[in-house]
Structure 1
Amino acid sequence: MVEELAQADEAVAACVDVSAWPLPEHDLIAALDAAHRLEQRLAAVKLTLIREIDGRGTARAHGASSTAVWLRERLRLTVPAARRLVDLATALDTGHPGIRQALADGTITLDQARVIADTATTVHTTAGTQAADKAISLLTDWATQFDPTHLRRLGTRILDHVAPDLADTAAKAALDAETARAARDRHLTLSEQTDGRLRLTGTLDTETAGLLRAAIDPLTAPSGPDDSRSPGQRRHDALADLCRLTLRTSELPEHGGDPAQIVVTTTYDALTRQLSSGTLDTGLTLTPEAVRRLACDATILPAVLNGAGQVLDVGRQRRLITGPLRRALVLRDRGCAFPGCDRPPRWCDAHHIHHWADGGPTNLANAVLLCGHHHRHLHHSDWTIQLSGDGHPEFIPPAWLDPEQLPRRNHYHRRT
């Protein structure tokens, strides 16, 4: 298969630099149809490979928490997109081979295959295997005429065609299936932009959407007749107010022994002279005005860093060493340090590089931040950790994964 795909890759590469303008119109359209059909066939191959990788447990063997997370790192996908591929690969392999064949034939698209698989699963639950097979056949035929959105709409009444005696239950089954899909596809993505701002994208299920609206709507009203903010700006400010109100409660769970908090790093002289910006523990930058505003209602802790930004000493807010040490780890690691992991500091545990039970000291030089999954993985695998010359953690993979055992670093938390 690898050789065949390499040949296909060479054939496609040969087409990339070929000019399309000399083609007569019928050849131009034929080339577009061929490229589209090839794209769907490759999607079928890709799903087969993903299914095999998922079934073998390759992702966890490589240290990832799931196949979707492994695909994100390997193929540079978003986790929701990767998870949808894993789910579809499983569905086509375990229950709907006819859909996979249609995709392999290039007669349906990947999005249409997902719609047909979702509908077939609903029909199978409601009316059994025979009705599901009829639904697949019918929807595959309809796929030559309708896009995925229209196809999904038609699928809500598919039992009228394949099992009329059960059509009265179709609406409820469709609603239940849509609810399940909403739960599966729910996600919120925080994407850091180059100027330090965050872009929020995501899909909320119906219940969460209702909760958000109930919480945010009272805060979005104009503050007065002179309020010139747009509706979008008012919603932004309402979300900020909601976060401030939440952080002032005592109901949030602790993380790493400390209450939920915002951590801002700046210099004392710059803070008092009102000149310098500050850096959040997530790597984002705040203006001097924002730093001073937060400092009005904050505990200020001293931290001593060397010229390379390595933490040397951290002041104490309480007698326990865990608080200052954890803050030092957050300043250094900025999140789970395992390569490819993007978990933020508040989701991480402090791990002893040289185990405490074996005599390892509890200090910064012997500690690293790890999320729950990678903390467990490190205790049950052959990965090892070392601090590099600049004081940051590096991970040595086992020989079976990388015979050269080249050190790896996490690049998700870099601030520059």
Structure 2
Amino acid sequence: MNAIAVIARELAGRDAPDSPTACMELAETLAMASDRQESALAELIGRADASGEMRRWGLPSTQAWLRSRLGMRESRAKERIALARQRHRLPRVAELLATGELSYGYASTVADAVTRLDDEDCAAAEKVLLDMVDQGFSAGKVASFGRRIRDVIAERDGTESVDEDCQRGHERSWVTSTRSLDGGRYVKGWLNAEDAAVWDGTLGPLAKPAGTDDRRDLSERTAAALTGVLAGGHRATKVTVICDLDTLTGGTAPARLTDGTPISAEQARRIALNAGVSPLLLGRGHVPLYLGHRTRFATPGQRQVLETLYPTCAVRGCEVPGALCEVDHVDGWAIGGPTDIDQLALCCGWHNRFKHTNAEQVRIIRDATGRYVYRVLPPPDANAPPTELAQAA
């Protein structure tokens, strides 16, 4: 690994040759070498994914690990996870990728196509799609065939049948749920027009990006919105505008929404006229005044205060919107932490449970605005690079 890093650094510092032909030849050679590296990377990601090691580091999923620690975009992270999880079921693809005879683009396309196939159909699909590669089909064309690979296999084997879901019709909504081996659930279903309207009206606003730094895709945001609705967190969500009293009485000072989006004084006054005004008193430095009392659950007023402070989860780097987070007792309610406004923060469900079971890995600080910031440290037995440990400290 160190040798590869040294070579890559040396190559990156070189200027490209003057000859365009030479550039093309070198680019093709470098791409083949990169494909072999992708094969090794898939093996490493697959091992880490199967063990769930990233959860000990405070990362809820393999995808979150690849995004935050390896800087991958959403689509590239999904591609690499699919290849890492499917390569053991695609022996020929894994062999060709490792020897440089198959590009990463083709390998990831085949892996994505077989994700939802059983082992028997997976083997058939691998052969069909690799035959297409041998015939010179582009990766895009292979991908389009891969999206209907079940039909391709059925046509070849003469086993076409009407899909069970299609036999249900489209008049009544239905949902099926199957528990996976790791305790999660697969959910599949259909909503008729009326129920789809309820779905869109309820989850649509909650599934919007939390801001410019929200790197979750729509499916992840929708799942978080659905979980928030089921947990009842959305009921306390209101349109909150943060502004000075002078702004409401004719001043020009701008206001802001809870996610930090600035709005003009005129817009703030228009919202106030349409929705009414519910004052929220803030002390010096915008620190909320004491509003709570010693009960287990935070009041709606306390949650409204917290949503002005936490546009996202209190854990650094977590992008779950504050409106979908749980109210967390910073010092732990079970060990005596009061339900006081200055002892509460918003934390997503996954990190809330992680903090409860791995308290020694969470370092808590409070910034100048009164917000608590949770920093997840490496697990105690991990041999993290010194730079990582310094950043965590």
After TM superposition, is the score higher than 0.5? yes
Question: Which residue does 2:51 correspond to in 1?
Answer: 56
Distance 1:124 1:301, change over 3 A: closer
* Partners of 1:265 and 1:256 in 2: CA distance: 21
Distance 1:360 1:164, change over 3 A: closer
Structure-to-structure mapping, 1:213-228, within 5 angstroms: none
Question: Which residue does 1:109 correspond to in 2?
Answer: 103
For residue 62 of structure 2, the aligned residue among 67, 88, 93 is 67
Distance 1:191 1:14, change over 3 A: farther
Q: Which amino acid aligns with 2:137?
A: F
Task: After TM superposition, give the deviation of residue 281 of structure 1 in Å.
Answer: 1.2
Runs of 5+ in structure 1 lacking a partner?
A: 176-182, 209-251, 410-416
For residue 169 of structure 1, the aligned residue among 144, 156, 160 is 160
For residue 8 of structure 1, the aligned residue among 4, 8, 13 is 4
Task: After TM superposition, give the deviation of residue 110 of structure 1 in Å.
Answer: 2.6
Residue pair 1:139, 1:151 contacting (<8 A) in 2 also? yes
For residue 146 of structure 1, the aligned residue among 132, 137, 140 is 137
* Partners of 1:159 and 1:359 in 2: CA distance: 57
Question: Which residue does 1:134 correspond to in 2?
Answer: 127
* Partners of 1:63 and 1:155 in 2: CA distance: 35
* Partners of 1:88 and 1:106 in 2: CA distance: 16
* Partners of 1:258 and 1:162 in 2: CA distance: 47
Give deviations 1:71-120, integer Å, cap 9, x for gaps: 21112234454233212210113x00221222223333333212223445
Report 1 or 2 for greater relative contact order, CA contacts < 8 Å, sequence distance ≥ 6. 2
Question: Which residue does 1:227 correspond to in 2?
Answer: none
Give deviations 1:282-320, integer Å, cap 9, x for gaps: 22122223212211122423333344332235699xxx9
Q: Which amino acid aligns with 1:114?
A: S
Question: Which residue does 1:30 correspond to in 2?
Answer: 25
Question: Which residue does 2:94 correspond to in 1?
Answer: 100
* Partners of 2:46 and 2:367 in 1: CA distance: 41
Question: Which residue does 2:371 correspond to in 1?
Answer: 392
Task: After TM superposition, give the deviation of residue 347 of structure 1 in Å.
Answer: 1.0
Question: Which residue does 1:355 correspond to in 2?
Answer: 332
* Partners of 1:30 and 1:329 in 2: CA distance: 58
Are residues 1:264 and 2:241 paired? yes
Distance 1:15 1:267, change over 3 A: same
* Partners of 1:135 and 1:301 in 2: CA distance: 63
Runs of 5+ in structure 2 lacking a partner?
A: 167-187, 189-203, 223-228
Between 1:161-170 and 1:51-60, the stretch displaced more is 161-170
Task: After TM superposition, give the deviation of residue 254 of structure 1 in Å.
Answer: 7.7
Q: Which amino acid aligns with 1:284?
A: T
SS of the equivalent of 1:40 reads helix
What is the count of residue pairs matched by the alignment? Answer: 337
Question: Which residue does 1:39 correspond to in 2?
Answer: 34
Q: Which amino acid aligns with 1:116?
A: V
Q: Which amino acid aligns with 2:24?
A: I
Distance 1:253 1:172, change over 3 A: closer
Are residues 1:19 and 2:15 paired? yes
Report the TM-score when normalising by structure 1.
0.68
Q: Which amino acid aligns with 2:346?
A: L
Structural RMSD (CA): 4.0
Question: Which residue does 1:333 correspond to in 2?
Answer: 310
Paired-residue identity, %: 24
SS of the equivalent of 1:361 reads coil
Task: After TM superposition, give the deviation of residue 270 of structure 1 in Å.
Answer: 1.5
SS of the equivalent of 1:303 reads coil
Question: Which residue does 2:355 correspond to in 1?
Answer: 378
Q: Which amino acid aligns with 1:68?
A: Q
Distance 1:350 1:321, change over 3 A: closer
Q: Which amino acid aligns with 1:268?
A: L
SS of the equivalent of 1:64 reads coil
* Partners of 1:121 and 1:355 in 2: CA distance: 41
